[in-house]
């Protein structure tokens, strides 16, 4: 029984190493899917700070950063700094891994339909109107 378990571990390790070494590695080589967690940024609802997770993706380099903001109340937003647009997200669109998330859609192709944010009050800020009349503000 112990020999089978060791054989299974070896097979799993081999498959993982082959996946990482492949040209189209699902993790390290595909920046259009990978969002890394960042520790900076402030999220507010109607001017009051809230606890949220923020993740950055750089599909085409640092000039076109896309952010995923996960509020603890279950709302999710994708913010596109290149086009200065946003859209609501859904937890079924990504998988939480290690110190980031893996988007099931390629970014920025997965950002449509997009919406214009409210007018900016501060630099590097997205102001998002919610369906219930509140305002979510994300500033970096």
Structure-model confidence comparison of residues 16 and 68, the more confident one: 68
Considering the domain architecture, whether residues 102 and 81 belong to the same structural domain is answered as yes
**How many domains does the chain divide into?**
2
24 and 46 share a domain? no
Alpha helix segments (H runs only) across the chain: 2-21
- Of 111 and 5, more confident: 111
Q: What one-character DSSP code corresponds to residue 91?
A: G
Q: pTM (2 decimals)?
A: 0.74
pLDDT greater at residue 120 or residue 129: 129
Residues forming a β-bridge with 56: 36, 67
Top-confidence residue, 129 or 62: 129
Which distant-in-sequence residues (6+ apart) come within 8 Å of 51 by Cβ?
Answer: 43, 72
Residues 44 and 63 in one domain: yes
Q: Same structural domain for residues 40 and 18? A: no
Check whether residue 60 and residue 113 sit in a common domain.
yes
Answer yes or no: do 24 and 49 share one domain.
Answer: no
Domain residues for 58? 31-139
């Amino acid at each position: 029984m112990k020999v089978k378990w060791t054989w299974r571990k070896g097979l799993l390790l081999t498959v993982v190493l082959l996946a990482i070494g492949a040209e189209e590695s699902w993790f390290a080589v595909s920046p259009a899917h990978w969002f890394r967690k960042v520790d900076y940024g402030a999220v507010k609802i109607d001017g009051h700070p809230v606890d949220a997770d923020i993740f950055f993706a750089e599909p085409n380099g640092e000039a076109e950063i896309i952010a995923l903001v996960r509020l603890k109340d279950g709302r999710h937003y994708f913010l596109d700094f290149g086009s200065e647009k946003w859209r609501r997200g859904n937890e079924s669109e990504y998988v939480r891994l290690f110190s980031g998330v893996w988007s099931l859609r390629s970014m920025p192709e997965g950002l449509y339909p997009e919406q214009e944010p409210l007018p900016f009050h501060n630099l590097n800020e997205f102001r998002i109107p919610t369906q219930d009349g509140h305002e979510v503000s994300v500033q970096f």
